[in-house]
């Protein structure tokens, strides 16, 4: 029997968030990065994810040399804590130069800013000992169709990816698609788009993807199918598990919170494809509810991992033989009920 996968877990500092949303201010007092790192360790997670400015705050005010020096100091803190850096992601959606999008901005100076900032993020990844750069593109202007030329935007995207690939021969780019929010549309909404654009770059082997459950659901897709698709190509290099109640705003709920069966099928897809065998991490891109009190601030992370582990057990104890017999009979009603009763457990 194949050895069972032991999963490694991570989250980012932004996943211990303070509760602000577009309609209300924070409900919890912000904590320092060191406090968050301590909590990650106490919870027994293995790695942390970083936006470039989580790693080097106020990054735009610093020179490349300063950025490297600060990243080195952070690397030492991570080593002392026994925590790995899973990835670095340039935050391309806060700075005034990214108001009209990042790589696809209509202003050449702004496109240059986005690329330069991404190259610094690659440098940080290098210092932190990871070769994974995650690209969530966030916004491409206001999506007034006449404001941009779609074809030219795709060409700009490929040029930007090429610059990152050329900057460092070891860096791997994991595109994190999302179909909407903060905008109503996005140029790379699904894994299919991410993997297709990878083919146009100078080194397709180093361009893969990251699936976030909620983002797939927002695209009207089943995240389990996205996992199978990406893994068929050997391209699923990271994973943001969370949950989402239908086609609404991005909710980043705890894993399994809205739809346990969809969560179960994601875990089954990970198991059948051997996710983690090449060192990939299971990351939870989840947020505490706005109503969460400070004393319960980490529950969503611990709960997501707990649900994940329970679902791994459920996936491993699902009676495949019996399921296949129902498939052979085309008795999908029985198969459906079998899955439900398996998740419900013993009465
Ligand atoms: C937002 C994204 C973000 C990325 C990293 O929806 O999920 O958190 O994971 O930039
Ligand atoms: Mg994410």
**Cα angle, residue 221 at apex, residues 308 and 243 outer, rounded to 5°:** 35
| pLDDT tens figures, 183-228 | 999 999 999 999 999 999 999 999 999 999 999 999 999 999 999 9
Q: Which two tokens stand for residue 171?
A: 């860096």
| pLDDT tens figures, 282-308 | 999 999 999 999 999 999 999 999 999
- The per-residue pLDDT of the chain, averaged, comes to 97
| pLDDT tens figures, 132-177 | 999 999 999 999 999 999 999 999 999 999 999 999 999 999 999 9
> Which DSSP category does 194 fall into?
H
| All structural domains of the chain with their residue ranges | 9-320
Ligand 1 atom closest to Cα of residue 49: 5
Residues near ion ligand 2 (Cβ under 5 Å): 212, 240, 285
Active-site residue, from 52, 54, 252, 285: 54
- Only one residue has tokens 């030329």, namely 149
Q: How many CB atoms lie within 10 A of CB 311?
A: 23
In sequence order, what are the beta bridge partners of 243? 253
Q: pTM above the 0.85 mark?
A: yes
CA-based nearest residue to 232, from 201, 261, 191:
191
Please give the pLDDT value at position 40: 98
Rg (CA), the chain: 20
- Which one is the CATH code of 9-320: 2.60.40.1220, 2.60.120.260, 3.20.20.150, 3.40.630.30? 3.20.20.150
The helix/strand/coil state of 128 is: helix
Q: How far is the CA of 286 from the centre of ligand 1 (A)?
A: 10
Q: How far is the CA of 332 from the centre of ligand 2 (A)?
A: 34
Q: Which two tokens stand for residue 92?
A: 């391309």
Strands (DSSP E) contained in 90-217 are 132-135, 172-175, 207-212
89 lines ligand 1 (CB under 6 A): yes
Q: What is the rounded distance in angstroms from the CA atom of residue 290 to the CA atom of residue 287?
A: 9
In this prediction, residue 44 has a pLDDT band, given cuts at 50, 70 and 90, of very high
53 lines ligand 1 (CB under 6 A): no
284 lines ligand 1 (CB under 6 A): no
| pLDDT tens figures, 260-282 | 999 999 999 999 999 999 999 99
Active site residue 51: yes
Please give the pLDDT value at position 2: 62
| pLDDT tens figures, 58-82 | 999 999 999 999 999 999 999 999 9
Please give the pLDDT value at position 347: 74
Q: What is the DSSP track for 271-309?
A: HHHTTTTTS--EEE-----TT--GGGTTHHHHHHHHHHH
Ligand showing the shortest atom-to-Cα distance for residue 181: 1
In this prediction, residue 235 has a pLDDT band, given cuts at 50, 70 and 90, of very high
Please give the pLDDT value at position 226: 98
Q: How far is the CA of 143 from the centre of ligand 1 (A)?
A: 20
| Pairing, β 132-135 against β 172-175 | parallel
Ligand 1 atom closest to Cα of residue 14: 8
Q: Whose CA is nearest to atom 7 of ligand 1?
A: 285
């Amino acid at each position: 029997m194949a050895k069972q996968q032991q999963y490694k877990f991570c989250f980012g500092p932004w996943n211990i968030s303070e509760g602000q949303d577009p309609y209300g201010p924070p409900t919890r007092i912000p904590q320092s990065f060191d406090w968050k790192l301590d909590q990650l360790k106490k919870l027994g997670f293995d790695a942390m994810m970083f936006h470039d400015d989580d790693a080097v705050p106020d990054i735009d005010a610093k020179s490349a040399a300063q950025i490297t020096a600060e990243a080195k100091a952070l690397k030492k803190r991570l080593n002392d804590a026994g925590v790995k850096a899973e990835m670095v992601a340039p935050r391309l959606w806060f700075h005034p130069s990214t108001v009209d999008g990042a790589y696809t901005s209509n202003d050449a100076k702004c496109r240059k800013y986005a690329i330069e900032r991404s190259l610094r993020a690659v440098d940080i990844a290098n210092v932190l000992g990871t070769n994974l750069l995650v690209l969530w593109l966030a916004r491409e202007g206001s999506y007034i169709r006449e404001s941009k030329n779609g074809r030219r935007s795709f060409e700009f995207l490929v040029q930007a990816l090429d610059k990152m690939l050329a900057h460092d021969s070891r860096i791997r780019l994991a595109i994190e698609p999302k179909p909407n929010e903060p905008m109503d549309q996005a140029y790379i909404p699904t894994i299919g788009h991410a993997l297709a654009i990878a083919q146009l770059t100078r080194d397709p082997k180093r361009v893969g993807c990251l699936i976030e459950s909620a983002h797939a659901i927002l695209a009207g897709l089943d995240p389990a199918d996205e996992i199978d698709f990406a893994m068929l190509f050997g391209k699923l290099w990271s994973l943001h598990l969370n949950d989402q109640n239908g086609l609404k705003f991005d909710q980043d709920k705890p894993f399994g919170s809205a739809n346990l069966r969809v969560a179960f099928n994601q875990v089954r897809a990970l198991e059948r494809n051997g996710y983690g065998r090449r060192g990939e991490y299971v990351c939870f891109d989840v947020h505490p509810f706005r109503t969460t009190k400070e004393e319960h601030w980490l529950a969503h992370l611990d709960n997501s991992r707990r649900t994940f582990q329970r679902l791994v057990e459920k996936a491993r104890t699902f009676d495949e033989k019996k399921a296949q017999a129902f498939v052979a009979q085309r008795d999908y009603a029985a198969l459906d009920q079998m899955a439900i009763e398996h998740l419900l457990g013993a009465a």
